[in-house]
């Protein structure tokens, strides 16, 4: 057993490339370390004329090594909390979101990748409830009745059905497909419907409170 050299007492992992115990766990290599004034000045002088790394990318070999090194890595709870705190309230700029959109456009998972995130391996797996059939009464006529009642408006974001290229979804507030009472059905756009599916507990209580 090899303990992290920062003194935290946690056991380090075996390196994916070196196949030897790592000296530190993730994020602990610089814990408590401070550069001396002379070292700081040296770093400033070295980096002063260094070209900008904006737009710079790793080559394919480095990407492969990084991928191997990160496979199966488990972050500690304290490290997860640090990431959570750092990301809380963070809003990406319009330019950054546009870059993400362009990067993801047309991207498709390989069959191997799909196999890893499908079924029970998916974070949102709920025991296969999505394969259950809806009652016969949950038909086009009932859905139209709900949309008419809600003025063809998404009840979360308030966008009109006319703003979309498809009809609004009819959502079961308690996520029970068999409960087709009018009070349990609500009109949502596809975006909002997708979000409610991912965060069921929050939106179940939130929608009930709104009503």
Closest CA to 166 of 147, 185, 186, 139: 147
**207-211 long-range Cβ contacts below 8 angstroms, 24+ apart:** 207/155, 207/156, 207/173, 208/173, 210/155, 211/173, 211/183, 211/186
Q: What angle do CA 138, 141, 145 make, to 5 degrees?
A: 100
The CA distances from residue 146 to 129, 136, 140, 143, 163, in Å, are 23, 16, 10, 5, 18
Q: Calculate mean pLDDT across residues 118-135.
A: 77
Last residue of a domain, one of 46, 66, 83: 46
- What's the number of domains the chain is made of? 2
Q: Calculate mean pLDDT across residues 196-210.
A: 72
In the predicted structure, residue 31 carries a pLDDT above the cut 70: no
Residues 66-120: tens digit of each pLDDT: 888 888 777 777 888 888 788 877 778 888 888 888 888 888 888 888 888 887 7
- Residue 188 in any domain: the answer is yes
Please give the structure tokens belonging to residue 147. Answer: 């949309």
Q: Calculate mean pLDDT across residues 116-125.
A: 77
**Range(s) of the domain holding residue 140:** 135-210
- Residue 21 in any domain: the answer is yes
- Residue 130 in any domain: the answer is no
Entry pTM: 0.46
Residues 134-183: tens digit of each pLDDT: 899 999 999 999 999 999 999 988 899 999 889 999 999 988 889 999 99
Q: Calculate mean pLDDT across residues 40-55.
A: 78
- Residue 180 in any domain: the answer is yes
pLDDT grade, residue 44 (50/70/90)? confident
- Residue 169 in any domain: the answer is yes
- Residue 202 in any domain: the answer is yes
pLDDT grade, residue 32 (50/70/90)? low
Between 83 and 131, the higher pLDDT residue:
83
Q: How far apart are CA 175 and CA 177, in angstroms?
A: 6
């Amino acid at each position: 057993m090899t303990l992290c050299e920062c003194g935290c007492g946690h056991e380090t992992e075996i390196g994916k490339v070196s196949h030897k115990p790592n000296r530190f766990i993730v994020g602990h290599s610089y814990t408590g370390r401070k550069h001396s004034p002379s070292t700081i000045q040296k770093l400033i002088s070295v980096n002063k004329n260094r070209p900008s790394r904006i737009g710079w990318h790793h080559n394919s070999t480095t990407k492969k090594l990084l991928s191997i090194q990160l496979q199966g890595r488990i972050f500690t709870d304290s490290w997860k909390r640090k990431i959570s705190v750092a990301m809380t309230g963070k809003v990406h700029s319009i330019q950054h979101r546009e870059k993400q959109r362009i990067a993801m456009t047309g991207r498709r998972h390989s069959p191997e990748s799909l196999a890893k995130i499908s079924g029970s391996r998916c974070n949102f797996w709920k025991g296969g409830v999505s394969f259950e059939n809806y009652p016969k009464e949950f038909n086009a006529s009932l859905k139209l009745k709900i949309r008419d009642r809600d003025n063809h408006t998404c009840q979360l974001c308030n966008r009109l059905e006319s703003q979309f290229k498809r009809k609004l979804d009819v959502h079961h507030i308690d996520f029970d497909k068999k409960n087709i009472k009018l009070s349990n059905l609500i009109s949502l756009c596809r975006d909002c419907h997708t979000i409610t599916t991912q965060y069921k507990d929050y939106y179940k209580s939130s929608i009930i409170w709104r009503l």
